[in-house]
Amino acid sequence: MTTEAASYPDLRGRSVCVTGAARGLGLAMATAFAHAGCHVLLLDIDGGELDRVRPPLAARHPDRVIATATAPVNDEDAVAAALADFTARTGELSVMVGNAGLSANAPSLDLELGRWQAALDTNLTGVFVCARAAARLMRDGDGGVILTTSSMYGVTAGPERAAYCATKAAVASLTKVLAVEWAPHGIRVNALAPGYVETDLVAGLAAAGRLDTAALRRRTPRGVLGRPADIAHLALFLASDVSANITGQVMVSDGGWTADGYAVTPG
Ligand SMILES: NC(=O)c1ccc[n+]([C@@H]2O[C@H](COP(=O)([O-])OP(=O)(O)OC[C@H]3O[C@@H](n4cnc5c(N)ncnc54)[C@H](O)[C@@H]3O)[C@@H](O)[C@H]2O)c1
């Protein structure tokens, strides 16, 4: 995974929390922030996976804090406690990346309300809880950057994705509200909105014949799926002072998928 960031804006010494960081895009972003010189807190509900991914990252960066916390993102007390522990070691929180999310894809007529609620709890309430916990610390300090995670499915739609699309659209809206409300505190808030990204999970599903990535590529104007590094680099850009005048935006990285109104959704 290419998440080296030697030529990127200087983020050395910043303190960054990434949620959903045990795998996938969250791990790619946490790794990129560490490579860019940041202290990093990897927060995830999956403590076992955090225990597996932390040692190599910490060994590569012995000069900075590489911490983990096991917590559900919608548990306000647990998130606040994790951030308190982290900032006790780093002195501040500069960046929060609210990345944890899940899909609950099913025909809308059949979708169980439990799965609908789980998507709301993680994708929307979790983002709000983590953003607010971060903003409380940033407001008392020098401000900061909050990144939420929407999706291209927050700005467009697909069948059997009622919970996913609704929560990701809500995240896009929430991002704008928080950006406007917290700008006076020096806090910028922007949303990452990836298209299909070839994470290990996606590659595994494709290898098992459960996801037709060739059809997804044909549907995408650029003809490729996104790479985790594409999203990690977007996060570095938005976290850095290079993007100081950007707030309240939903930054879509989808190879042209949402721009193309002529395409046919793959079956
Ligand atoms: N991969 C893609 O193609 C893609 C595209 C668009 C948007 N996204 C969004 O990007 C984010 C990351 O996607 P991914 O593909 O890396 O997902 P993933 O399933 O590979 O990883 C998600 C991580 O979040 C953690 N998590 C789930 N619920 C949690 C909770 N309640 N509290 C704490 N941690 C929790 C999981 O344990 C897991 O480690 C999600 O919000 C997803 O909706 C992904």
Residue 134 is part of a domain; what is its CATH number?
3.40.50.720
Is residue 103 in a domain?
yes
**Model confidence pLDDT, tens digit, residues 132-168:** 999 999 998 889 999 999 999 999 999 999 999 999 9
**Model confidence pLDDT, tens digit, residues 72-91:** 999 999 999 999 999 999 99
Is residue 10 in a domain?
no
Using an 8 Å Cβ cutoff, are 163 and 101 in contact? Answer: no
Counted domains in the chain: 1
- From residue 210, alpha-carbon distances to 105, 165, 176, 205 in Å are 14, 21, 36, 5
Q: Which tokens go with 135?
A: 């903003």
CB of 100 shorter than 6 A to ligand 1: yes
8 or 5, greater pLDDT? 8
Determine the atom of ligand 1 nearest the C-alpha atom of 197. 3
Is residue 266 in a domain?
no
CB of 93 shorter than 6 A to ligand 1: no
pLDDT greater than 80 at residue 109: yes
pLDDT greater than 70 at residue 233: yes
- Best CA proximity match to 33, nearest among 253, 240, 248: 240
Determine the atom of ligand 1 nearest the C-alpha atom of 102. 43
Using an 8 Å Cβ cutoff, are 206 and 196 in contact? Answer: no
Is residue 261 in a domain?
no
CB of 164 shorter than 6 A to ligand 1: no
Is residue 192 in a domain?
yes
CB of 23 shorter than 6 A to ligand 1: yes
125 or 200, greater pLDDT? 125
pLDDT of residue 200: 83
Q: Can you list the alpha helix ranges (DSSP code H) found in 91-161?
A: 113-119, 126-139
pLDDT of residue 53: 98
Three-state DSSP state, 41: strand
Is residue 97 in a domain?
yes
According to DSSP, residue 247 is labeled -
Is residue 182 in a domain?
yes
**Domain range enclosing 241:** 15-252
Is residue 49 in a domain?
yes
Asked about 164 being catalytic, the answer comes back as yes
Give distance in angstroms: CA of 184 to centre of ligand 1: 30
**Model confidence pLDDT, tens digit, residues 50-69:** 999 999 999 999 999 999 99
